[in-house]
Amino acid sequence: MSEKKEDALFQYDAKPQLSQIVPMGLQHVVAAVVGIVTPGIMIAKVCNLSPSDTTLMIQTSLIFSAIATLIQLFQLFGKIGSRLPVMMGASFAYVPILMAIGADFGIAAIFGAQLVGSVVVIVVGLLIKKIRVLFPPLVTGTVILSIGLSLFPVAIKYMAGGVGNDDFGSVQNWVVALITFGCVFFFNYFSKGFLKLSSILNGMVVGYILSLILKMVDFQPIKDASIFQMITPLHFGMEFKVVPILTLVVMFIVDSVQAIGQFTATTVGAMDREPTDKELSGGIIGSGTTNFLGSFFGSVPVATFGQNVGLVSVTKVINKYVMVFASVLLLVAGFVPKIAAVLTTIPYAVIGGATISVFATISMTGIRMICSQELSPTNTGVVGLSLAFGVGTALSTGSLSGFPDWVTTIFGNSEVILTTLVAVLLNLILNYHKKKETS
């Protein structure tokens, strides 16, 4: 009987016990919360928002991350949502572009562009069956691999204490991060049952306790936060300007491609299959719908969260009620700022030490997909050249300085965007005509 109950965690619609749901759900919240909160803070700083408006932006990010996840889990009207165990959150991928728009055009222009971009995403979702031919396993595997590679520096910078902090790179941060990682590693590879499944959470608890002992935790945000606060529509306004709209539309389209990779990483890593056209279409439409609504309330664009995709792949826990529990916590935290403040007291070093193995899993999922195809000179050329252009350009600061700023913003700040576009193009040139000849 206990085995059947534990097996419920590995079934989408089954009903596990609350004692099983809580630790699994907490892992997703802890893995996502800093990533959800941080983009809003960064954009608020660029736009010179007041402390109260900054708090409001953090709230909307938490609330719409929860709403987006619930839409994915339960699929509205049979078309909006994927019915896959994915966690949605405010996306770092958009941050450079949103900061550029906010600095040059103001906060209202961000949400006007987001409104238009989200409509484009919904159209992409409706047409996904026709355009999916552009994204075979070779291409999606390359995209997933680039996503993992793009997250490695994030984990390392977190382990070092977070870029911009006074103690960045300190020995103390690295000690905490490595002990956290060591605990995650031990529970993941040398334990069984729930200790193994909750390895990320276990490591973070140990890391947080150590951080408390070392006086690395600042409780001031909890004291400053209010107990309850509602969000209001059009608080930040909405303006429609051509350059922000065109820039963000391109990013939304590319992020839809990334979503295909994330949904595929989830199903391949945790369910041993590729996603169906209906799942991909519903997932992308669900993301577009949430971002459409979020633009009215001041929510940073949401997308699938790579760290949570990796968490699902590592644990194989695909039960929807685990994600529901995590979503409810985020929703409550969004309306009760003091709860959100508690979550944000987790030091960067702890988060980095706990998530680096998750990001590694994402990369290996991409490699598995690539290796499922024939490793012919043509296919390896598609993968290698795509990564060379995408990763190489992102790591070569200033390499696009002769172009307009928007070119650097879109193509020079993310390994994933350029890798995706080059992979699609090269695959069409080198492989698509062969498939037509053999069909």
How high is the mean pLDDT in each 10-residue block of the chain (439 residues)? Answer: 64 87 86 77 82 83 93 89 88 74 89 94 88 82 84 86 86 96 92 76 89 89 80 91 83 78 84 87 93 93 80 84 93 84 80 84 84 91 94 85 78 78 91 61
pLDDT at 437: 52
CB atoms within 10 A of CB 192: 8
pLDDT at 92: 65
CB atoms within 10 A of CB 277: 11
CA distance 414 to 160: 21
DSSP tag of 346: S
Where do runs of H (alpha helix) occur along 160-275? 171-190, 193-197, 199-213, 220-224, 242-271
CA distance 315 to 361: 11
Pairing type for strands 302-304 and 88-90 reads: antiparallel
**Which residues face 302 on adjacent strands?**
90
pLDDT at 28: 86
pLDDT at 337: 79
pLDDT at 140: 82
Place of tokens 């995590």: 326
pLDDT at 148: 81
CA distance 306 to 368: 17
CA 405 to chain centre: 25
